[in-house]
Amino acid sequence: MGGWAERVRCQISSPIVTNMPTTGSDAGAIVVLVSGYGSNLQALIDASADPAYGVRIAAVGADRDDIEGLDRARRAGIPTFVCRVADFETRSRWDAALASQVAAYRPELVVLAGFMKLTGEAFLRQFGGRTVNTHPALSPSFPGVHGPREALDYGVKVTGCTLFVVDAGIDTGPIVAQRAVEVRDDDSVETLHERIKTAERQMLVDYVGRMVRNGFSVTERKVTIS
């Protein structure tokens, strides 16, 4: 893949773009952060078994213990770490610790895959512009943790999922990709979310691979994969 110097980094709420650091990361390495079931993580694990995919999951981190996401990583022989907010005096110390745990694995890209915490200033200083997250709605609609429920309650006929570059807001970052999912008359929150997750996994695998293999740039709100 090309050097990070060829890519640019989005400064939060600023049109200024700067060069991505060229040191401190290993080619093809990603760290995935999870909080739960980890089906998106599993899709990345499965895809990265093929060397042609070009992505190596260097570690999986979580903000809690005893979750299926961590078990999935262990079964695949991937190093894991847990960084719990409750173990730190302040949220910002937790955030700085999370950043240094992630940095230890020298990722080119950090993937939040069902990670239910907002990353803070220290994390974004180090990984802003190269951290992506998935959201189970079509941004800018229905930000936050109840995307499928709010889409259903609102009565939209089409919803979907969004892959975006993380910034300081809640699901507000520059959009990498989106997939539309039709809402059916008989959908429950669960059936709708399951169909969204099917689309989400495919989108995530497709775009994480492309971003890592080809590099990408973020200019203001526009994400371009090289």
Q: Footprint of ligand GRF on this chain (CB under 6 A)?
A: 36-41, 113-114, 134-136, 197, 200
% helix / strand / coil in the chain, to the nearest 5? Answer: 35, 25, 40
Task: Rank residues 134 and 139 by Cβ distance to ligand GRF and give the closer one.
Answer: 134
Task: Rank residues 32 and 212 by Cβ distance to ligand GRF and give the closer one.
Answer: 32
User: Strand pairing of 222-225 and 29-34?
Assistant: unpaired
Residue 27 has what DSSP assignment?
T
Best CA proximity match to 94, nearest among 103, 104, 102, 85 = 85
Q: Please report how close the Cβ of residue 204 comes to ligand GRF at its closest, in angstroms.
A: 9
Q: Please report how close the Cβ of residue 39 comes to ligand GRF at its closest, in angstroms.
A: 3
Out of 72, 117, 135, 201, pick the active-site residue: 135
Task: Rank residues 41 and 223 by Cβ distance to ligand GRF and give the closer one.
Answer: 41
d(CA 171, CA 137): 10
Half-sphere exposure of 67 (CA within 13 A, CB side): 24
d(CA 41, CA 176): 18
Residue 140, preceding peptide bond in cis (omega within 30° of 0): yes
Task: Rank residues 66 and 89 by Cβ distance to ligand GRF and give the closer one.
Answer: 66
Q: Is 146 a catalytic residue?
A: no
Q: Please report how close the Cβ of residue 98 comes to ligand GRF at its closest, in angstroms.
A: 17
Q: Please report how close the Cβ of residue 133 comes to ligand GRF at its closest, in angstroms.
A: 8
Catalytic residues: 135
